Structure 1
């Protein structure tokens, strides 16, 4: 993306420097090179901007010619001018302007089109293209017998694209069924969904390794990814789009940063030990039902495996589906499918109810997302009092303990135990509170928007010669809503790492992608965190564009004076800036966290 312009501008550097030398009568000494380069960069940026603008104007003029040709021969000039203004203004927010203008053409033909019509056109534009991408993936001929690894990758790709289609359909319905006030109020949700749709497409692409298969997938998705990218950028500026139509909306009530709420869990009966008697009585008074399914290794429940309980989710179920997993070790891979919305699973507590597995990439060549011991794909998932493990060990390399792709997931009092790639916040909004997370390399990673609050992050001893990186965020679009926030946590070594903690380099994270965004704030950082704080991603320039932020951390590892200067956008946030990364604004948490029943804090 975005490489075409660099070739066309390649010859300017020499001519620009030559002009400078001739104009000033100076020799090209090293002292004047920085000046020449700075001028060149400025000219280059201006030229690229002009090219983009001219391209947009050319496309819009073409669209308007079509509009005028198809319209009445007498009149509608004002309507055409208005449509041209709207297309130009909206598409100026995007990176793929030609695709944007073409996608708005049919809307512009409607002289009475409203802001809502244009927003729906932007949101709906990727739908048909994603469907075409699924067709393209279906045509990729990979044999399960001769190449099972790539075969599984293609199947995963299709599943991810189908998830994207479902999300796009939900987004189109949200816009179509809402007034403009509701659309603006749910703008964060729309942006989150569209950001997730983009991540689903790139994750689909990443599942394929062999060039002959990968190129077919990428070519089939090109239009879809461009239109989704455009939608993310437009939705990020939704208020600006509404102002183009002179839409006046009342001020929204903003949740105060200092507000804090607690709610009880939506469950009853078959209580685990952590339910207090007063809580039980209160729930009973509210008439909350008993668990829908009880799992017990000893046969005292309805099911002996968690997978069987998940499969018992009734068709067209309304409300929460509650699964209680009694104490025991459950050695099984569990997947909560996307149709099982509002599943709530709870156990008898950390280290008592344990779900474990050992699938991995390093020794078994299983693709990363398929190594997850427990994978949630459903919206509204809640878990409490459970340990999720992947016991592949450091030799297994990528080996996920827990993966979630379900929007509005919330986990409380849980433990996630692995080495590399332990906790995978794959897509959409996720909240973790009072948890323990163990690992070595990139062990908290993903492309969703995740906030980890009041938890303990425990770094383990890696393989010889390895370093430790706590995080690896994969945000891909600068305007995207996603990223990772660690708030009021403790980052400490485990008992095996502690004696050699100064011999093993440990960093807060490294940028998986160019627009990676990670915030560590109000947290206790142990003395084993390297003074540089953040590590470069080998072979990339992601450190020049990513966002790595810190705020009000404490402990010996929190000193920021030695942070790596290569990270161009590293910043110690002020209080107002840090507040934007709290659960209220970052996760839109006031709209869904109260329904989860778990403790949370919306602000600093």
Structure 2
């Protein structure tokens, strides 16, 4: 069949009678077309409002189950609205709503990752590009963390470790804060677009934390978690005290004397620090040093965001912001750490054990602060625990004869949490012990604790009188910040072959 041009339209004369019939026919067709289109549009609206589920209008008021579930959260309105949009939420019970809250949050993160990736073609200056790339990486990490959390919260199953879920959710929330903070001091279209795409993500994760923490605390069996088999003591260790999963070349490296190892490491110009992410990271007998002096402000020597991370017999050297304990569960043993301002900072659940922590001589008019913990949400299972360590000055600081004040820490975020336990403190520690972040920062929501520290800097007579400061006298309370209870290290540290103390004392 050929496709030729159509011939000219042949006009025909229409009688008034034929014209009336044609107009009547067109009117009837148009009337029914309007009815059909209206019905289809109404159906689409109902379905869209119900998230694609059954075509029933969403009531203005949430169900009792949704109200009770969202009543546990810090962002109730967002919780209600997000659950109402999820298919099946109107008939769901409270246990199912926990799963749904995780699911809707993961969906929002996947969408944010997709839309944020879509603007990668835009021309950016180096600082904006660096912040943007970091944001993408952090979003991917958050999607992984939320996926693990969702797969662990199941409708039926045995009760496993809720600490895994709490850790992954806490890390996802920390990732969003880090992404946002990366654009501080910057401006422009990219920052605005990223901010718009990430809107409400932190609040959604916070709601998941609140819901899961409340139910886990009240009734652990209420929301079963998938039972994950963790590495057990002795079971996965061979006769040479190596983990059985360690490859031959990795065993050879660990067996080689440190003096015989010739490192071959290149750090890119953009990455002037050593970041470690993933799960099961181990560093042993390594020096991490940032050569930037005290005048260079933030100069991270090592950043770790890996879960079940171990740093053993390492030197971590810098000035301001030396060690970034970013997120997840971490353990440091027999390490020497040097710095000035906020030189152990971040939002991991981390224990330092048998380490030497050295304050260095800072710049003129600066104050040394050992910790700057940035817990943002009261349900995050994060904090810094310094257990059986030595808090010391470097020789140049000691020679300054008290010209520079050194504090145990200051609160970076609202729910900052740090404890010092059974540690020796030299006389360079200021009698107040702790320092405000600024003149207006609240000191009633933080948790700063000290337990049986000793030495001239451990005297507590002139310590701060903040509502959030605690002189811990209960062994039970102190035990909450040990390896066994704070990072649940007894279940995963034995497989690393690293020495650790599970409880308070031998």
Q: TM-score, normalised by structure 1?
A: 0.66
SS in 2 for 1:205: helix
- The match for 2:129 is 151
SS in 1 for 2:153: helix
Alpha carbons of structure 1 residues 109 and 200: separation in structure 2 relative to 1, 3 Å: closer
- Bigger Rg, which one: 2
Listed one character per residue, the Cα deviations across residues 382-409 of structure 1 (whole Å, up to 9, x for unaligned) are 1222221112121222111111111110
C-alpha distance in structure 2 between counterparts of 1:141 and 1:376, whole Å:
24
Alpha carbons of structure 1 residues 431 and 501: separation in structure 2 relative to 1, 3 Å: farther
Alpha carbons of structure 1 residues 510 and 501: separation in structure 2 relative to 1, 3 Å: farther
**C-alpha displacement at 1:240, in angstroms?**
5.0
SS in 2 for 1:543: coil
- The match for 2:349 is 449
C-alpha distance in structure 2 between counterparts of 1:507 and 1:453, whole Å:
19
**C-alpha displacement at 1:490, in angstroms?**
0.6
C-alpha distance in structure 1 between counterparts of 2:375 and 2:144, whole Å:
21
Q: Is the 8 A contact 2:216 2:222 kept in 1?
A: no
Q: Is the 8 A contact 1:422 1:444 kept in 2?
A: yes
- The match for 2:212 is 235
Q: Is the 8 A contact 2:153 2:223 kept in 1?
A: no
Alignment of 1:14-163 (within 5 A): 70=56, 84-105=63-84, 106=86, 109=89, 111=91, 113=92, 116-138=95-117, 147-163=125-141
**C-alpha displacement at 1:491, in angstroms?**
0.2
Alpha carbons of structure 1 residues 497 and 247: separation in structure 2 relative to 1, 3 Å: closer
- Greater alpha carbon shift after TM alignment, 202-211 vs 123-132: 123-132
**C-alpha displacement at 1:264, in angstroms?**
11
Q: TM-score, normalised by structure 2?
A: 0.78
SS in 1 for 2:204: helix
SS in 1 for 2:369: strand
Corresponding pairs, count: 446
Unaligned runs of 5+ in 2: 1-48
C-alpha distance in structure 2 between counterparts of 1:124 and 1:248, whole Å:
14
- The match for 2:378 is 478
Alpha carbons of structure 1 residues 119 and 329: separation in structure 2 relative to 1, 3 Å: same
Q: Is the 8 A contact 1:115 1:241 kept in 2?
A: no
- The match for 1:342 is none
Unaligned runs of 5+ in 1: 1-62, 72-80, 253-260, 268-278, 296-320, 336-358, 360-365
Aligned-CA RMSD value: 3.7
Q: Is the 8 A contact 2:324 2:345 kept in 1?
A: yes
Q: Is the 8 A contact 1:262 1:597 kept in 2?
A: no
- The match for 2:248 is 290
Listed one character per residue, the Cα deviations across residues 512-540 of structure 1 (whole Å, up to 9, x for unaligned) are 11111111111111111001111111354
Alpha carbons of structure 1 residues 443 and 333: separation in structure 2 relative to 1, 3 Å: farther
Q: Is the 8 A contact 1:233 1:479 kept in 2?
A: yes
SS in 1 for 2:111: helix
C-alpha distance in structure 2 between counterparts of 1:248 and 1:400, whole Å:
40
Q: Is the 8 A contact 2:371 2:408 kept in 1?
A: yes
Q: Is the 8 A contact 1:545 1:569 kept in 2?
A: yes
**C-alpha displacement at 1:69, in angstroms?**
8.2
Listed one character per residue, the Cα deviations across residues 440-460 of structure 1 (whole Å, up to 9, x for unaligned) are 111101122111111111111
Q: Is the 8 A contact 2:171 2:327 kept in 1?
A: yes
- The match for 1:203 is 178
- Greater alpha carbon shift after TM alignment, 93-102 vs 187-196: 93-102
SS in 1 for 2:199: helix
Listed one character per residue, the Cα deviations across residues 496-555 of structure 1 (whole Å, up to 9, x for unaligned) are 211114111100011111111111111111111001111111354143432211111111
C-alpha distance in structure 2 between counterparts of 1:131 and 1:593, whole Å:
33
